[in-house]
Amino acid sequence: MRVVLGVSGASGAALALDCARALTRVGADVDLVVSPMAKRTLATEVGTGALADLCAMAARVHAQGDPGAEIASGSCPVAGMIVAPCSMRSLAAIAHGLDDGLLTRAAGVQLKERRPLILLAREAPLTLAHLDNMLAATRMGAVILPPVPAFYLRPQSLAEVTAQIAARAVDLLRLGPPLARAWSPANPPVNPCEGDTHD
């Protein structure tokens, strides 16, 4: 099965690598689209070899400026798309149907074909414009998945945090058994406050 992975220039470049790893684990062939700003962010946040590592995990790498790529057409049989991280600019373009590059065009294709589109929207604080765009994208069928840590799992490193978020993103594509660790009430965290477990 094929899955499109779009990488925009927002901070959180490690999420792209973890999503690619998670997609590989479920047996997906990755169609990769990396924006020019994402290449800079990958080098800054992860390292100069990050882009090469990401491309090595992809079955196909498409140029952002290639409107004739397979994934620009609804006839291309893909199972869905993840944008990780998703900048507010990319979110705005997707929310308003501005297919101004291959990343946003491929995202628009998922919406029109009623396929899963998972957007790891990365920004804080949020303006009204950001919230309106999230609402518009959600109404069209996208899933907004802010990269929020699963604190209840007590992650010991940033790598654990990003891996869990990526696993959740892939799980939302419903490609197979869940990858993400789930909360288990059998082993709840110890409450440091005596007795009171309520807010």
Tens-place pLDDT, residues 135-163: 999 999 999 999 999 999 999 999 999 99
Spatial strand order of the sheet with 2-7 comes to 60-62, 29-34, 2-7, 81-86, 117-121, 143-144
Using CA atoms in the order 143, 151, 155, 24, what is the torsion angle rounded to 10 degrees? -10
Quick one: DSSP state of residue 28?
P
- CATH 3.30.70.20, domain 2-171, yes or no: no
Nearest to 83 by CA among 34, 126, 132, 136: 34
Domain ranges within the chain, ordered by starting residue: 2-171
C-beta of residue 94 within 8 angstroms of C-beta of residue 104 = yes
Dump pLDDT digits (tens) for 107-118. 999 999 999 999
Helix H or strand E encompassing 108: helix 102-112
Nearest to 33 by CA among 11, 75, 77, 2: 2
Mark the ranges of the chain whose per-residue pLDDT is less than 70: 187-199
